[in-house]
Chains A and B, each alone.
Chain A
Amino acid sequence: MTGSFDVGEAFGARRMAGFKDFFQHASATRVVAGRDLLSSTGFELGKEGAHRVWLVTDKVIRETGLVDRVEAGVTDGGVEVAGVFDDVPQDSSTEVVDRCAAEAREAGADAFLAVGGGSVLDTAKIADSVFTHGGTAAEQEGFFLMPRADDEMGVPLPIAPLVCVPTTAGTGSEVSMGALVKDPVRKVKLEICDFPLFPRLAILDPEATRTLPPKIAAATGMDAMTHAIESYVSLEWNPFQEARSMQALRLIRSNLERAVDDGPGDEEARGNMLVAASLAIAIELGSTHAMSHPCGGLYGVPHGVANAINLPHVIRFNAEAGDDVADRYRDVCEALGVESGGSGAAVGDNLAGHLTQLVEGLGLPTRLSEVGVPEEGIPALVEGAMGDGLSLMNPREPSEEDYERLFRGAL
């Protein structure tokens, strides 16, 4: 192919509408959603070929009694529980994953059942890969690098059946092909992304989020909000994700505050937030996530909280990039019931202001300095954001100076 020299091609020259040169969308997880589904977990596991399931969770969830109810639902369906691994911390690691996989093997399991938030689900996904293919968690790292047939060029080899019961409504890991845990040896976040990591089944039952504390419901809900907005405005947008993002935003608009204000009493809101989170998840995101990852890695800021703080600043930054980007934010405004007219800067201001008000109303912090991020930490945060691959998908290319301004604005 010959033609004019266009360096923009290598960086995803911005094309925010029309038919793209390329996109890929996959959604391989069967979803069942509704009331009183936990009691039929075993029935659903059986359909996925499970006979002896390894249940992965954490101690906090186990203490609520939820795991006992799920276990009863598993055995009611004629599936055995090979064992329960409840040692997943809030920020899981390769060491935990390796231990989880080894114990599952010793217990003679043939399937995984994850009951928990993002850390639990991601631990189970990577442990399943180690369990199936051998090796260690660290060796699983990479994008589209899981074992394949035909000299690694053919179909990806499946992992043992994995069923997820999310106990937060935000991460979306229960329907995604990504997983993330920390590698304390190399001091990096280990990322894996490949098709076999799509769980076979996600069970969305609002009973699983009934005891979710309001602050966590708020933070994880804002994580879902950020997924929906960032994926809609990402350079790597696609029409399938557009549809998912828009419906997720409508559900979040109607249900997030209700789920936080009266979580235990509002089953409908909690159920709709579970659906919203599963719709919103995407791997095509942008600078908000690129900024939030180092906030978590360096200062332990919960991911949803970091996203809630950083999102309005990135929106203002991006909305000035041009009409094509501003138009995408107009769509977001309309889905959220926010004034969508005026210049790009005006749209960005309106949407960012609305989100900041929402975050305040949910009882979440709105500044990084409120969650332990010091001013002297900004250079390291900037370096982390610049080094995050999601920066490449942001509709406005951020420079180091841009990120410094954004972090200072969010401080």
Chain B
Amino acid sequence: MAYFKDADEVYRFIGKLFEDLADDEELAPKFRKADTVVQYSYRDPDSTITVQLLEGEDGRVDFGETDLEPEVVMSMDADTAHRFWLGKVNVTVALARGQMKAKGPVAKILKLVPLVKPVFPKYRAMLEEAGREDLIEAA
């Protein structure tokens, strides 16, 4: 059974994490160096988060339909995304196994991977604050 019951729940947690990152004074400028628009296309439950990371512009995070044109599309189960943000997914292995699929200039996203380490505790703390330890334990 999937960790998240519907798309709204994906947006409430993973989506919120992206929104918080877009406003993070320390991390946001580093992520914007990617200078791209990334779309995370999740399955089970179907949900879409599109993130604008453009140098010199404010971050933008859209849930569901968007008028942003993604340069990179990352597709995966929402469960895989959840486990990634808990620090439990090795990206290179997930790509090799097909658990994550990447369309577009993947290098632009891969260079962000080392930057996300400090985000893992934030995601965990967000779930704990929301009383959703069950999502942490399930992963």
- A residues sitting closer than 8 Å to B (CB atoms) are 1-2, 5-12, 22, 24, 141-145, 186, 188-191, 235-236, 383, 386-389, 391-393, 397
Contacts and interface: CB of A to CB of B under 8 A. Distances in A.
Contact of B92 (A6, A8, A12, A145): A12
Nearest to A393: B92
A141 B104 contact: yes
Contact of B107 (A6, A8, A10, A387): A387
Contact of B106 (A12, A186, A191, A391): A191
Q: How large is the interface on B (under 10, 10 to 19, 20 to 34, 35 or more residues)?
A: 20 to 34
A387 B113 CA distance: 9
Given A1-B139, A11-B90, A389-B92, A142 B101 contact: yes
A2 B137 contact: yes
B98 to A, nearest CB: 5
Contacts of A2: 136-137
Contacts of A22: 90, 93, 97
Interface string B85-102: 011111111011110011
6 contacts: A10-B117, A142-B103, A142-B106, A189-B107, A236-B96, A392-B113
Contacts of B2: none
B90 A141 contact: no
Nearest to A187: B105
A10 B120 contact: yes
A148 to B, nearest CB: 9
A370 to B, nearest CB: 27
B107 A9 contact: no
Interface of B: 33, 84, 86-93, 95-98, 101-108, 110-111, 113-114, 116-117, 120-121, 124, 136-137, 139
Contact of A24 (B96, B102, B106): B96
Contacts of B86: 5
Contacts of A1: 88, 139
A145 B93 CA distance: 15
Contacts of A235: 92
Given A144-B95, A144-B101, A145-B103, A387 B90 contact: no
Contact of B105 (A24, A141, A386): A141
